[in-house]
Amino acid sequence: MEDKIKKVSIIISKGGLDGVYPGLIMANGARMEGIEANLFFTFFGLDTVITKRMGKIKVATVGNPGMHMPSLLGVLPGMSAMATSMMNKTMDKIDIPPVPEFVEMVADAGCKLYACKATVDMFKLKKEDFCPQVDSIINVGKFYEIAAGGHIIFT
Amino acid sequence: MPQKTFGTVTVEVDAEGFLADFSKWSREFAAAAAKDEGIAELGPAHWKVIEFMQKEFKENGQAPSIRRLNKSGVVTTKELYDLFPGGPAKKAAKIAGLKKPEGCV
């Protein structure tokens, strides 16, 4: 039998629901299988753990071919909000929690959460801007140190 | 169906070691299956989880998700991971005699 995966470090770099959920699901799923998991939030992915923004993450209706609708329609006011609300309802039905609850759940499951130092500096953020589940703000070198010996997944 | 002996109990299991027929479940099986999963002894907190999962299974035909367990007030997510280390949903389902959970969360 192949060697089992023992550790994963997942980087979430995009700020839309389709950027945030896959990483959260993979990290949580890793913990459910007894795999050590780290989440590293960078660039717009950082919204996932910013207290003021984590509950307002939307799905992009423009420039997203997966939406199966013309981009012109996606520009209409309220379109992104409507698509987001529909997706949230569907997610809840299949027991996938809203982002803030998901962040809490994955942290409670033992996954460690980190924020990217370069992005924090670029957006002039402070530790207080983040939800309490964020362990620390780390640079890329520290990330590699933490990820050592495991797999790295970039989303 | 393959058979598997847990301690003193021999039962039919599916390919992944989950109890094939829930009616064959017993507390003795649970204790033996727990040992097999590295849990030396099932305490009252373990039993609370097992009993809730079985109740949900009987009502809905599937084991509850970790989220549902957390929301039920029976066990917090943190406690669940402490009680069943290294894969709580799967391990608890196995000990409770349920099928392997199919959801992603």
Per-residue pLDDT of chain A (155 residues; tens, 9 = 90+): 578 999 999 999 999 999 999 999 999 999 999 999 999 999 999 999 999 999 999 988 888 888 888 888 888 888 889 999 998 998 888 889 999 999 999 999 999 999 999 999 999 999 999 999 999 999 999 999 999 999 999 99
- Our CA-based measurement puts residue A94 at a distance from the nearest CA of chain B, in whole angstroms, of 8
For residue B16, the enclosing domain spans 3-95
Predicted confidence band at B5 (pLDDT cuts at 50, 70, 90)?
confident
How many domains does one find in chain A?
Answer: 1
Residue A7 is predicted with a pLDDT of: 98
In a domain, B105, yes or no: no
Chain B positions touching A7 (Cβ under 8 A) are none
Tokens of B76: 């917090």
Q: What is the pLDDT of residues B11-30, one digit of tens each?
A: 899 988 899 999 999 999 99
Percent of chain B at pLDDT > 90 equals 76
In a domain, A66, yes or no: no
Query: Best interface-test mutation with B: which of A108, A111, A133 has the largest number of B CBs within 10 A?
Result: A108
How many domains does one find in chain B?
Answer: 1
In a domain, B41, yes or no: yes
Contacts of A144 (CB under 8 A, 6+ apart): none
Residue B20 to residues A2, A66, B6, Cα–Cα distance (Å) = 26, 40, 14
In a domain, B101, yes or no: no
Q: To which H or E segment does residue A18 belong?
A: helix A17-32
In a domain, A73, yes or no: no
Based on the residue annotation, tell me whether B75 is a catalytic residue of this protein: no
In a domain, A120, yes or no: yes
Q: Is the Cβ–Cβ distance between A5 and A146 less than 8 Å?
A: no
Residue A1 is predicted with a pLDDT of: 57
In a domain, B67, yes or no: yes
In a domain, A40, yes or no: yes
Residue B89 to residues B18, B35, B37, B83, B85, Cα–Cα distance (Å) = 13, 16, 12, 11, 10
Query: Best interface-test mutation with B: which of A32, A105, A106, A112 has the largest number of B CBs within 10 A?
Result: A32
For residue A24, the enclosing domain spans 7-60+99-154
In a domain, A14, yes or no: yes
The helix/strand/coil state of A47 is helix
The ipTM assigned to this model is 0.90
Facing residues of A130 across strands? A50
- Cα torsion A30, A34, A40, A46 to 10°: value is 60
CATH number at residue A22: 3.40.1260.10
In a domain, A104, yes or no: yes
In a domain, B83, yes or no: yes
Mean pLDDT in residue range B3-8: 80
How many whole angstroms separate alpha carbon B59 and alpha carbon B54?
9
